[in-house]
Amino acid sequence: MMQLYIANKNYSSWSMRPWLVLKAFNIPFEEVMIPFAKERNTGTFKQDVLAVNPNGKVPALVNNDLLVWDSLAICEYLAEQYPEKSLWPIDVKLRVRARCISAEMHSGFPNIRNLYGMNIRANLAEKGAELWQEHEALRADVARIEQIWSERPHVDGFLCGDFSIADAFYAPVVTRLKTYALPVSEKTQIYMNTMLQHPALKEWINGALLEDAWVNYLEPYQTEK
């Protein structure tokens, strides 16, 4: 059975993406959690990951003697291994769009990443509103995401028809918009609700809520209680 190495579900957006794909498409795998240390540059997180993946990062997928790292590469590998499951849309135009918007998420949106870090357990509405007012580039990132989501084929559906890799790539944004209570459109809220009801995302979120680990350098807006 394949093993997927991930970090804390509360914080690790990159881990979430391939995990959701594996769960959503019922692909058997073993989850291997390597938790972040409480303080930066302490603990054994880096050494533990390096023992599996030479770039020292999660997620990493191990299938027998094959190592696949980077979330997008993992998802592409899974799509190749399980073509019958249609991890990318069957329709060529939707498939091209799904790949493009996934790649855009993979390489872009630095402001939302840096200022609105994933933190599923937190309620940071006040901080979210403050940052929203202060950072025009942040508002531009969210506006672009809303534009992408608004172009989905059906208002009450997923980004490119059925659930696909593209939805998994935008799932961490869904949790961020909820955590920071951002002022998004009704159409965006409908997509968020659709995603939040997906069984795979619900399972990840429930796992995050059960975690009690506190990682100081990933909690810039809160102090440990």
pLDDT in tens, the chain (225 residues): 999 999 999 999 999 999 999 999 999 999 999 999 999 989 999 999 999 999 999 999 999 999 999 999 999 999 999 999 999 999 999 999 999 999 999 999 999 999 999 999 999 999 999 999 999 999 999 999 999 999 999 999 999 999 999 999 999 999 999 999 999 999 999 999 999 999 999 999 999 999 999 999 999 999 997
**Residue 116 within a domain:** yes
106 and 57 in one domain?
Answer: no
pLDDT tens, position by position, 201-216: 999 999 999 999 999 9
- 8 and 68 in one domain? yes
State the pLDDT at residue 36: 97
pLDDT at position 82: 98
Report the SS3 class of residue 191.
helix
Of all residues in the chain, what percent carry a pLDDT higher than 90? 99
Pair (81, 132) in one structural domain: no
Specify the pLDDT at position 220. 96
Burial of 181 (0-12, 13-18, 19+ CB in 10 A): middle
Q: H-type helices in the chain, by residue range?
A: 13-24, 45-50, 71-81, 92-107, 110-115, 125-134, 136-150, 165-179, 186-196, 199-210
Asked whether residue 225 is domain-assigned, the answer is no
Amino acid at 109: F
Q: Residue 89 corresponds to which tokens in the numbers above?
A: 């849309």
223 in any annotated domain: no
Judgement on whether residues 51 and 81 belong to the same structural domain of the protein: yes
pLDDT at 61: 98
With beta carbons less than 8 A apart as the criterion, state whether 179 and 116 touch.
yes
Residues 64 and 110 in one domain: no
The pLDDT value given to residue 225: 73
Q: Provide CB contacts within 8 A for 163, sequence distance 6+.
A: 24, 198
Residues 46 and 146 placed together within one structural domain of the fold: no
Verify that 65 and 33 share a domain, yes or no.
Answer: yes
Distance between CA atoms of residues 65 and 1, nearest Å:
11
Same domain membership, residue 115 and residue 25: no
Query: What CATH number has the domain bearing residue 44?
Result: 3.40.30.10
Same-domain check for residues 110 and 178: yes
Do 109 and 201 have their domain in common?
yes
For the chain, the domain total comes to 2
Is residue 154 located within the same domain as residue 76? no
- Would residue 224 count as lying in a domain? no
Domain span at 70:
2-85+212-218
CATH number at residue 102: 1.20.1050
Residue 54: CB partners within 8 Å, gap ≥ 6?
A: none
172 plus 74 within the same structural domain: no
Distance (Å, rounded) from C-alpha 159 to C-alpha 164?
8
